[in-house]
Amino acid sequence: MKIQKVGVVGCGLMGGGIAQTCAQSGYETVVREVNQQLLDKGMTRIHDAWDMMARKGKLTQDQVEQNRARLHGTLALEDFADCDLVIEAVIENMEEKLRLFPALDKTLKPEALILSNTSSLSITQMGAVTKRAEQICGLHFFNPAPVMKLVEIVRTISTSEQTIETVKEFALSLGKTPVIAKDTAGFIVNFLLIPYLLAAIRMLENGMASREDIDTAMKLGCGYPMGPLTLLDYVGLDTTLWAAEAIYEEYKDPLYAPPPLLRRMVASGMYGRKSGRGFYQY
Ligand code: CAA
């Protein structure tokens, strides 16, 4: 199956980054938000990223114009009707996803694929509320989506081999390196990353070191691009909490139990960079 037109549901941090990646890789792309204000905010972020790339000499002005022309914002799910592939990147809430998937199933042409960018919720469950479970899998991007080279392709027990092959080719066409994981909470990256991030929060909570020293230690001691608390702010504390809860729910392993400080910070609206405050102030 040849992918020509792509739909992205959600134009937040991840959806916007994914839409940007698809459009700049040459795909006709439609991105949908729930209201005009969120759509404008997401589209502006993408246009600013292209302007920044042009200033750095990574894109010509012509390429910026072509990218802009390939990307269409919408509020209507119906605008996905002729998409070959749709990537869902809405809030990490299963009820929300279980409302969206049947609606997409009704709207899309029968051969279209539906992919979820979820980081830890069950894709099998999302596929089960559609009539095309064999055409559904995960395609999990990492933040910032246009920059990070990895995508996790997540196979459910119903996903067909043909779907996996098509999505693999699609991922390569975006300049990404795909890895394949089973539909188990956390897949590969978050199963390994979340315990590390939560351990850093517990360290801070227990007064074992300052936030700066925790970050400096892991940056310089392990050669990571960001320390864990800076990375938490970057990924979003709310996103991390949802991921931790989902994996904890599946395995009941205390390694994944969200520390009280994380819960309190999310309850206070301290989501990290996106809300202006997390472990650091922005
Ligand atoms: N579009 C295009 N290019 C972008 C961009 C965007 N939206 N955002 C950043 N870039 C580019 C910058 O222009 C820059 O390019 P040059 O090197 O050519 O100048 C490059 O990316 C690096 O950006 P910066 O110079 O601004 O900053 P940096 O060198 O500190 O790198 C970073 C930033 C890439 C984010 C790096 O710090 C990093 O890799 N951090 C770790 C990120 C990470 O681990 N992400 C995964 C999180 S886990 C997750 O997402 C999964 C989940 O489910 C929770």
- Please identify which residue in the block is written with the tokens 């188990």: 184
**Which tens digits make up the pLDDT trace of 128-158?**
999 999 999 999 999 999 999 999 999 999 9
Residue 91 and residue 208 share a domain: no
Q: What is the CATH number of the domain that holds 39?
A: 3.40.50.720
Residue 25 and residue 97 share a domain: yes
pLDDT band at 120 (very low <50, low <70, confident <90, very high): confident
Question: Among the options 116, 122, 140, 158, which is catalytic?
Answer: 140
Residue 227 and residue 170 share a domain: no
Residue 206 and residue 172 share a domain: no
88-116 mean pLDDT: 96
Handedness of CA 208, 211, 217, 218 (dihedral sign): positive
Amino acid 201: pLDDT: 98
Cβ of 150 less than 6 Å from ligand 1: no
Residue 208 and residue 72 share a domain: no
- Please identify which residue in the block is written with the tokens 């020293």: 213
Taking CA atoms only, the protein residue closest to ligand 1 atom 35 is: 144
Distance between CA atoms of residues 90 and 85, nearest Å = 16
Mean pLDDT of the residues in the chain: 97
Distance between CA atoms of residues 204 and 233, nearest Å = 14
Question: Among the options 116, 119, 120, 158, which is catalytic?
Answer: 119
Q: Is it the case that residue 118 has pLDDT exceeding 90?
A: yes
- Domain assignment present for residue 280? The answer is no
* ipTM of model: 0.92
**Which tens digits make up the pLDDT trace of 151-208?**
999 999 999 999 999 999 999 999 999 999 999 999 999 999 999 999 999 999 999 9
Angle at 39 between CA 130 and CA 55, to 5 degrees: 120
- The parent domain of residue 129 ranges over 5-182
Domain count along the chain? 2
Amino acid 257: pLDDT: 98
Residue 209 and residue 175 share a domain: no
Residue 263 and residue 130 share a domain: no
Could you tell me what percent of the chain has a pLDDT over 90? 98
Amino acid 1: pLDDT: 78
